[in-house]
Amino acid sequence: MGVVQLLRFAFVVVITCQFGAHGKVRYDGYKVFRITPRTQDELKWMQGVADRWETLDFWKHPTKVGRPVDVMVSPAQQLDFVRSASRPGLEITTWISNVQDMIDREAAEMINSKNEVNAANFDYNKYNTYEKIFAWMNDFSSSHSGVSMVQVTTTYEGERVYGLRIAKSPSATNVAYIQGGIHAREWVSPATVINLINMFVSNYGSDDTVTSMLDNFVWIMVPVYNIDGYKFSRIEDRMWRKNRNPNTGGCAGVDLNRNYDYEWGGASKSKCAQDYQGTEALSEPENSGSKAFLQSFGSNLKLFIDFHSYGQYWLYPWGYTRFDVAHPDKDEQNALAIKVENSINSVHNKNYFVGESGPDMYPATGGSEDFGYGSLGVKYSYVVELRDEGTFGFELPERQIQPTAEEIYAGMKTLGQQLVAEYA
């Protein structure tokens, strides 16, 4: 090894040790407050607070009476925040008293696994680095028949976004699309998609439902959609959400789940906001490229699912408005979501709230579920919030990856049965 290589090696070791899974950005003294509005008035009040404090990080926005609002507040902002959010009767509790402690605990608990990656020793119960996930995708596709890698789009920083394409039958023309990791810090989402891929492929031929799902549809499953953000959330900032567009003059990052082209334009115009919508619809390569890719399937595209965390929701359009705007497929979207939820619930007894994303959660323009339904014309278009309901939030322990995947796998089988019955 030459001197330059040696120095480079030493540098990499130092960087890896220093910043490893802990991140450079620190959250010492940051608190997450939990506020549960008990009346319509309190809910309106909290919505007003969220509108006024646009650049605060609401881990969970105000949705409905009785459902908690989680908001992370820096030490410098805490007094002001509590003062301006307070009103008689409203209870403000501290859920996380020091976010950095939680990050450190998570890093310490993360299971160490071997460096060499192939499908045989890949650890499905871990939050893996993107490099490991990529190596796994390569290996998994080359070691399973009918599985290949397909490029879906490109990221701002030039990474190719790949999905695994599972095509067991040459005659299948219908396509089912699933993506994870659009929001960087929601680590259980990529982990769930990876586990689903493995469960689908390894149960093909032995489980009748999975076999017919894979025989009748081409499945395209993208574990990490926002690669730049995911990497950044591992190395630099555990709480990163957006992509890594530097946004000339201001904070970095566009919220990819506000940048799709259906009813784009009502989310934040502030570059520092967590829901910054970008300069125009599809301004981000992640969004524009994946639209072109998905459009190429035309009416063969029959399913669009975007996995997030946390909160346990299974939601259908419309998401852009808080009003219940009629659309012809709502009853079917709702009926299928309820069946899916029953299957999820039967595995580990976890409830997922089923509803229409805008009215039942909160309005968000340029979101994925509206893109799937409104722009791509896919009837079964869902946005899903995985575990948990607010015990660990984004920092769901790795021991919960498997049960999450198991319940979602059961839900997906119910969904798959419907797809086969309706379209095959």
Within 246-265, the residues that bind ligand 0X9 by CB under 6 A are: 257
* DSSP assignment of 158-189: SPEEEEEEE---TT---EEEEEE-SSTT-THH
Between 62 and 147, name the residue whose CB sits nearer to ligand 0X9: 62
According to the binding rule CB under 5 A, does residue 183 interact with Zn ion? yes
Q: Strand runs (DSSP E) across 204-356, as ranges?
A: 218-222, 301-309, 313-316, 353-356
Contacts of 360 (CB under 8 A, 6+ apart): 63, 64, 315, 353
Task: Out of 358, 372, 374, 411, point to the residue binding ligand 0X9 (CB under 6 A).
Answer: 358
Which listed option, Zn ion, ligand 0X9, none, makes contact with residue 96 (CB within 5 to 8 Å by class)?
none
Contacts of 347 (CB under 8 A, 6+ apart): 403, 406, 407, 410
Which region among 25-33, 153-161, 181-189, 416-424 touches Zn ion (by CB under 5 A)? 181-189
Within 283-322, the residues that bind ligand 0X9 by CB under 6 A are: 308, 315, 319
Q: From the CB of 353, what's the least distance to ligand 0X9, in Å?
A: 11
Provide the residue count of the chain. Answer: 424
Q: How many C-alpha atoms does 292 have within 13 Å on its Cβ side?
A: 10
Among residues 385, 389, 395, 407, which one is catalytic? 385
Q: From the CB of 286, what's the least distance to ligand 0X9, in Å?
A: 14
Between 185 and 413, name the residue whose CB sits nearer to ligand 0X9: 185
Contacts of 18 (CB under 8 A, 6+ apart): none
Q: From the CB of 183, what's the least distance to ligand 0X9, in Å?
A: 5
Between 36 and 198, name the residue whose CB sits nearer to ligand 0X9: 36
Bridging pattern class, strands 218-222 and 160-166: antiparallel
The token pair that represents 334 in the structure block = 């709702």
Task: Out of 137, 152, 344, 361, point to the residue binding ligand 0X9 (CB under 6 A).
Answer: 361
According to the binding rule CB under 5 A, does residue 258 interact with Zn ion? no
Bridging pattern class, strands 92-96 and 175-180: unpaired
Q: How far apart are CA 422 and CA 424, in angstroms?
A: 6
Task: Out of 34, 271, 308, 413, point to the residue binding Zn ion (CB under 5 A).
Answer: 308
Between 200 and 225, name the residue whose CB sits nearer to Zn ion: 225
Q: How far apart are CA 55 and CA 241, in angstroms?
A: 13
Our answer to whether residue 280 is catalytic in this structure is no
Between 106 and 186, name the residue whose CB sits nearer to Zn ion: 186
Number of residues that bind ligand 0X9 (CB under 6 A): 15
Residues that bind Zn ion (CB under 5 A): 183, 186, 308
- Active-site residues, by number, are 385
